[in-house]
Structure 1
Amino acid sequence: MIIVEDIHKSFGDTEVLKGISTCFDKGKTNLIIGQSGSGKTVFLKCLLGLHRPEQGKIVYNDRAYADMDEDQRTELRQEMGMVFQGSALFDSMTVIENVMFPLRMFSKLSKNEMAERASIVLERVNLVDANNKLPSEISGGMQKRVAIARAIVNKPKYLFCDEPNSGLDPKTAIVIDNLIHEITQEYNITTIINTHDMNSVMEIGEKIVFLKDGYKEWEGTNKEIFKTDNEAVTNFVYSSDLFKKVRDTYLKEGN
């Protein structure tokens, strides 16, 4: 679990995050949504420890980041997995070498042990016969699977995903959403996803935090978002025709 208490973050005279408080539960897919400029990326970077808030605190399983020394912060970073927008694979490394990279950085496993663990997570993300291929030799959806495998190979407690569906076709995006959701439950990870994809909201939004102009405007589940009368939320999510159709169907069924 990650607890966020009244965090503020500014750059110069511009306050980007304005007193955000929320919590992200373990074993659930937690989504951060909002328009461009709402503060989503800065918020995610604060959770990753890349930005330090000027006020408030972030607590990881009862450990406040501000109270940690440098060794403890290094240990925390080793407990984090990250799926970057665009996958961010190393072009000159094979698929299995990309997945082994965090193990070489942070573990004391032998080369054979690293290769074995990498193969296990590649199999878990349903990638077969791709271990020795380069990223340029596989599809965008397969690259995203490699990125997920790399993010979980070190058995993280926290998984962060920045626009994981970026550049993917709708069918592949749903597959990636479901894969992240399944892995979150199986590994009991605290997963936080920064997204603008309304399909993700509908499919896997067990907890949704909606930001607007640096404030937490609303939070709830993908079922509660259908019922909210918060104008800022409805204006944002119902700009999607698909979301309108799903909402109408959902309400007709008496939910």
Structure 2
Amino acid sequence: MIEVIDLKKSFNGTEVLKGISTVFEKGKTNLIIGQSGSGKTVFMKCLLGLITPSSGSIRYEGRDYAEFSLEEKRDLRQEMGMVFQGSALFDSKTVEGNVMFPLEMFTKQSQEEMQERVDFVLKRVNLVDAHTKYPAEISGGMQKRVAIARAIVMKPKYLFCDEPNSGLDPKTAILIDNLIQEITEEYQITTVVNTHDMNSVMEIGEKIVFLKDGLKEWEGSSKDIFKTDNKAVSNFVYSSELFKKVRQMYLEERA
């Protein structure tokens, strides 16, 4: 679990985060949504420890990150998996090499142990025959699955995904969403997804935090978002044709 308490961040006198408080629960897919400039990226970087907040606190399993020693911060970072927007795979490494990289860097496991773990996570993301392929030889959806495999190979407690569906067709995006949710539930990871994709909101939005101008404007689930009378949320989600159709179906079922 990650608890955020009155988080603020300023750059050169400009306040980007203006006092955000929320809780990201273990075993759930927690989504951060909002328009460009809402503070989503800065918020996630604070959660990752890449940016130091101006004030407020971030607590991991009840402990304030600001009170961690350097060694404890290093240990925490090794418990974090990250799926980047562009997958961020090494072009010169095979699929197997990309997934094995964190194990080689941060563990003292034997080659046999590393190979066993890599085989396991690649099988988990349905890439059993891709070990020797290079990123340029596989599709965008497969690259995302490699990125997810690499993110979970260290058995993280926390999984962060930055626009995981960027550049994917709708069908593949749904498959990636479902994979993220399955892994989150299966391994009881605290997953935080930064997204603007309303498909993701509908598919896996167990907890949604909507940011607007650096503030937490609204939070709830994908079911709650159908019923909200918050105008800022409505204006954001109504821009999606998918949401309009799904909401109309929901209202008709409730009538």
Counterpart amino acid of 1:32?
I
Q: How big is the shift at 1:197? A: 0.1
1:136-192: per-residue Cα shift (whole Å, max 9, x none)? 000000000000000000000000000000000000000000000000000000000
Taking only the aligned residue pairs, the percentage that are identical comes to 75
Tell me, yes or no, if the aligned pair for 2:119 and 2:128 is still in contact at 8 Å: no
In structure 2, C-alpha distance between the alignment counterparts of 1:104 and 1:11, rounded to whole Å: 36
- Which position in structure 2 is the counterpart of 1:205? 205
Structure 1 residue aligned with 2:233: 233
- Distance in 2 of aligned mates of 1:76 and 1:34: 27
Aligned equivalents of 2:26 and 2:193: distance in 1? 13
Q: Mapping of 1:1-255 within 5 angstroms?
A: 1-254=1-254
State TM-score, norm by structure 1.
0.99
Structure 2 distance, partners of 1:112, 1:85, is: 31
Q: Which amino acid aligns with 1:136?
A: A
Listed one character per residue, the Cα deviations across residues 105-163 of structure 1 (whole Å, up to 9, x for unaligned) are 11111112111101100000001211011100000000000000000000000000000
Alignment partner of 2:254: what SS? coil
Q: AA paired with 2:209?
A: V
Aligned residue type for 2:68 = M
Unaligned runs of at least 5 residues, structure 2: none
Task: Give the Cα separation in 2 of the matches to 1:27 and 1:193.
Answer: 13
SS of the counterpart of 2:5? Answer: strand
What SS does structure 1 have at the residue aligned with 2:45? helix
CA distance in 2, matches of 1:240, 1:133: 36
1:88 deviation in Å? 0.2
SS in 2 for 1:219: strand
Displacement of 1:252: 1.2
How far apart in 2 are the matches of 1:87 and 1:113? Answer: 25
Whole-Å separation in 1 of the counterparts to 2:234 and 2:134 = 43
Greater Cα offset, 107-116 or 2-11: 107-116
Shift of 1:193: 0.1
Deviation digits for residues 59-113 of structure 1 (CA, Å, limit 9, x no counterpart): 0001110000100000100100000001000000000010011111111111121
Which whole-Å CA distance do the structure 2 matches of 1:63 and 1:151 have between them? 23
How far is 1:254 from its partner? 1.2
CA RMSD after TM alignment: 0.7
What is the alpha-carbon distance in structure 2 between the residues aligned to residue 13 and residue 190 of structure 1? 32
Q: Match of 1:200, SS?
A: helix
